[in-house]
Structure 1
Amino acid sequence: MALDHIQPKPISDHKQSTVYTCPTPPESTTPGLLEDLDDLDPLHSPKSNGSSVPWPGSTFIISSVSTGHAIALRGGQVVLAPPGGRESIHWECVETKGWLGFRNPVSGKFLGHDGRSGKLRCSGRAHEGWEWFCVRQTPEGGYVLLMTHWEKLWPVGTMMEGGEKVLAKVENAVSDGIVWKFIKV
């Protein structure tokens, strides 16, 4: 294999000294490298599922990756509803003491849990401990929503109440939480 194209070539300057340089090949990227970079861009990665990064100062629809249903406020109750209904599905992301919070712009109240059963509610007038969230990205794409309860983080999932599945902080491992995507609006 001839390597003449990468051998140093002498260049003379006006002082009669010689400098050796290697020419730069016309291809400046490795084949396949740009395709691999897509995984570094969460909005354009095949793993992103169309999700944005939850960030204070933005408004989102918080939707289950598996069902497409969104966290919604219906008649004062937090539900998981299919898109296109009359429920309020927009959540303003805020930050207090490093914790994320989600305020419903229609009610002006914060998403949180009730502290006893762990059921999600939207009744907090201020962004305090029961309304604090941590969002953790999953290796497969999407995010797990974690809520504080004393000194522990609990994933948001579903539990049975009165024969129905309701959104709640669930005590089981993070793997039992719902994987969410955040659609910026």
Structure 2
Amino acid sequence: MDLNQVDPTPFGIHDDDSSRYTGTTPLESVATDVPDHHDPLGSAKPSCLLVPWPGSTYIIRSVSSGHVITLLDGQILLTQPGGRGSIYWACVETKGWLGFRNIVSGKFLGHNRKGQLSCHANGHGEWEHFCNRPRPHGGCVLLMEHFDSLRQIGMQEEQGEEKPAKIESGDGVGWEVLKV
């Protein structure tokens, strides 16, 4: 097709029409000088949601309590930051699944037969698969593979003590994944 033969008149508008073609509206318009008090998002602007990314190290913190996932004496607990125990987790990826390797022990965060979080695996296997989903009220939900479904990470009571675990129903804990 010869571009010199293309009719520049918009489709349906000709000299005998009573309307006149006056120009085109750009496909996209950008307002550059809108004062903040006219911003339609106002104070509800989305915050920068940090998602875990392979190759970085993180602290995983509960939004509600401020406690962090900690490897302490071979167990995974939710503890105050700054105490004894290891709280740093290197993020890895295998076949699209995220995994968290404790930087002190070299073992992977996963779950045991009871569904409680554990840190005993030498590799990033199926019991150490994680993904996350943003929560509407902030933070994210951490999910673990459970056969053909995903289960949230929440708290499970065992012998009068609450421990992080995969839960079948209810709300999981809201987590913040903080890059260090």
The gaps in structure 1 that reach 5 residues or longer are 1-19, 21-26, 44-51
1:106 and 1:37, CA in 2 relative to 1: closer, same or farther beyond 3 A?
A: same
Cα-to-partner distance string for 1:93-145 (whole Å, 9 max, x where unaligned): 1100000000001000000001x210110011110100000110111110100
Is 1:30 the counterpart of 2:28? The answer is no
CA distance in 2, matches of 1:113, 1:166: 11
- How many residues are treated as equivalent by the alignment? 150
TM-score (norm 1): 0.75
Is 1:167 the counterpart of 2:171? The answer is no
- Indicate the residue corresponding to 1:152 in structure 2: 149
Q: One-letter code of the match for 2:176?
A: K
Is 1:103 the counterpart of 2:101? The answer is yes
Secondary structure of residue in 2 paired with 1:72? strand
Runs of 4+ in 1 over 3 A off after TM superposition: 33-38
- Indicate the residue corresponding to 1:184 in structure 2: 179
CA distance in 1, matches of 2:176, 2:105: 22
CA distance in 2, matches of 1:61, 1:156: 15
Is 1:119 the counterpart of 2:125? The answer is no
CA distance in 1, matches of 2:32, 2:57: 40
Q: One-letter code of the match for 1:158?
A: M
- Indicate the residue corresponding to 2:83 in structure 1: 85
Percent of aligned pairs with the same residue? 53
CA RMSD, 1 decimal: 2.1
Residue 31 of structure 1, CA deviation: 2.4
- Indicate the residue corresponding to 2:62 in structure 1: 64
Secondary structure of residue in 1 paired with 2:45? helix
Is 1:42 the counterpart of 2:42? The answer is no
CA distance in 2, matches of 1:40, 1:142: 12
